[in-house]
A and B are shown apart, each in its own frame.
Chain A
Amino acid sequence: METHAYKRMEEINRLHMVKKGIFAGLPIMVGYLPIALTYGVLANNSGLSILELTMMSVFVFAGAAQFLAVGMVAAGTGFIEIITATFVLNFRHFVMSLSFVNRLKNIALRAKIPLTLGLTDETFTMSALYRKEAKEDYASWFYASLILTAYASWVGGSLVGGLLGDVMPERLSESMGIALYAMFIGLLLPSIKKEHKIAIIALIAIGINTFLQSLGMSQGWAIVLGTLLGGMSGIWIMNEEGEDA
């Protein structure tokens, strides 16, 4: 009887973490949908079949790289160049993943690997704001739910965009291009408000990224270096817990 009650409690805790994860992923779902629809439309117009463009979302799950690839396919660029450009653009996820797993020491490797495969700019930065959950029971269920909510929106949106074509009025889809940037701002601001020093980290990253891109460096490497060097200022600003120093 006692073990039964215990099991029941475990289930409730797990369900609670899943619900919390889905809730945390909802803003990403909203942000991804218009972008995914646009990707589906563009990819289809560039000659990718519905199956191909959906499979790309399933297996690559990286918005910017997918847009780049579709544009390069349309321009007749070779596959090797497309794959190289994808690597450069997505290498920032290595840095993000390192920061992500460094906070998830309590999670088993077999759970960590699938979680890291779902890391994007959005799922990573959103997860980073829920650092308390990393220490709770069923932490992996929380992060998995957050990531899968975003993933479902990205894959589903791509498919629907490819199937339906241009359903959104152009003006509206153009306006929605701001969505992810606004989300990044909405994620960053509360942390800055709580601890002003965090603004220094972000501003250094912005400065380095802008400077390197103005010198003609590719967007991919400029973001990687901006993130790494901007983050380096955290050595003096942050404390170990990652809360405000």
Chain B
Amino acid sequence: MIWMIIGMAVVTAIPRFLPAVIIDFIKFPKWVDRWLNAIPYAALGALIFPGIMSVKPDAPQIGVIAGMAAILLAWLNLHIILVVGGAIISVFVLTL
């Protein structure tokens, strides 16, 4: 078991720190900078969907509806903790 944990730690750590080591040796052209600046938004999109449908795997619509509640709350400029709280309550109510 300990070797599994060490193995998982190594294959997770290398992709994480490698860019820190190599970044000082490369000068990216401007268009790559723009690409990298867009990565957070693309990552957020890819992380949200379709993963959100697996919140209740047997009822994918529950994750989607709670997600829409979160979109609404975020659109109203509520603090992110309230957005999270509102989504949790939505799922709780929907599964009553």
Contacts and interface: CB of A to CB of B under 8 A. Distances in A.
A193 interface: yes
Interface residues of A, number: 98
Contact of A90 (B15, B41, B75, B84): B15
Contacts, number: 288
B90 interface: yes
Interface in B13-39: 13, 15-21, 23-24, 28, 30-31, 33-39
B48 A181 contact: yes
Given A82-B8, A175-B88, A178-B91, A116 B37 contact: no
Given A121-B47, A171-B92, 15 more contacts: A27-B80, A59-B9, A60-B9, A97-B17, A98-B19, A175-B88, A178-B87, A182-B67, A182-B87, A206-B50, A209-B46, A227-B42, A233-B42, A234-B41, A240-B37
Instruction: Give the 10 A-B CB pairs with smallest separation, nearest first.
Output: A234-B38, A202-B45, A230-B42, A182-B87, A242-B37, A128-B40, A189-B74, A94-B15, A205-B45, A226-B46
Interface of A: 26-27, 30-31, 48, 52, 55-56, 59-62, 65, 69, 73, 79, 82-84, 86-87, 90-103, 105, 109, 112-113, 115-117, 119, 121, 124-125, 128-129, 171-172, 174-179, 181-191, 193, 198, 201-206, 208-210, 213, 219, 222-223, 226-235, 237-242
